[in-house]
Chains A and B, each alone.
Chain A
Amino acid sequence: KQEVTQIPAALSVPEGENLVLNCSFTDSAIYNLQWFRQDPGKGLTSLLLIQSSQREQTSGRLNASLDKSSGRSTLYIAASQPGDSATYLCAAVRGRSNYKLTFGKGTLLTVNP
């Protein structure tokens, strides 16, 4: 059974700092890994999706990497801003069953002005 772990559970940084959020998974037979952002009381917004054949994806200040052999993904946020404050979730999909996402519990990020 796939298990997804996110460390740390919470992170507080000053504005402007570069930061890395970690996601690890136990089953390396993943098809893709998706990073989401969730604001308090809101739904999930997709940030980046990395397919198993890729090693990284970039969108603006965000860069996500995937290392299947070590069972790890990282989300790098450059020049953090207070508006980046949210919970960040990673989710792994096994095989092509992308109707079954296995989620980590998330990292609560606070960026202080």
Chain B
Amino acid sequence: NAGVTQTPKFQVLKTGQSMTLQCAQDMNHEYMSWYRQDPGMGLRLIHYSVGAGITDQGEVPNGYNVSRSTTEDFPLRLLSAAPSQTSVYFCASSYSGYGVTEAFFGQGTRLTVV
């Protein structure tokens, strides 16, 4: 049981480059989210999705794009990387129905922008 899988685990980008962080879940969860974790700031919500074709902005969305074409996948795109986007990125998924609504997290992608 894979749960939430993020790729890559590590990435170094040059300023201005673009890349896509991949996130996939195999639990048939409707809800998926992206967070970034920075020292002294905790985890902050970037974008989220409540189902295929539906996305919305979180607390820190600038510089990031998302789309959700399938229930399983929720990629995060950096169009023009900046040093301020150096961070650890976590993808999460959760069940949208009634009952236990535990959030499950991937292992993270550590991104450095130089």
Interface of A toward B, CB cutoff 8 Å: 31-32, 34, 36, 41-46, 49, 51, 89, 91, 93, 96, 98-101, 103-106
Contacts and interface: CB of A to CB of B under 8 A. Distances in A.
A43 B106 contact: yes
Contact of A100 (B33, B95, B100, B104): B33
B94 A99 contact: yes
Nearest to A43: B107
Q: Is the interface of B mostly helix, strand, loop or mixed?
A: strand
Interface of B: 31-33, 35, 40-45, 48-50, 58, 90, 92, 94-95, 100-108, 110
B53 to A, nearest CB: 15
13 contacts: A32-B101, A43-B105, A43-B107, A46-B103, A46-B105, A49-B102, A89-B43, A98-B103, A99-B33, A100-B58, A101-B43, A104-B42, A105-B42
A104 B43 CA distance: 8
A43 B108 contact: yes
Please provide the 3 A-B residue pairs with the shortest distance between their CB atoms, ordered closest to farther. Answer: A99-B31, A43-B107, A44-B105
A106 B83 CA distance: 25
B30 to A, nearest CB: 9
A81 to B, nearest CB: 23
A34 B102 contact: yes
B42 A99 contact: no
Given A44-B105, A89-B43, A106-B42, 20 more contacts: A31-B101, A34-B103, A42-B108, A43-B105, A46-B102, A46-B103, A51-B101, A91-B43, A91-B103, A93-B103, A98-B101, A98-B103, A99-B48, A99-B49, A99-B50, A99-B94, A101-B35, A101-B92, A103-B44, A105-B41
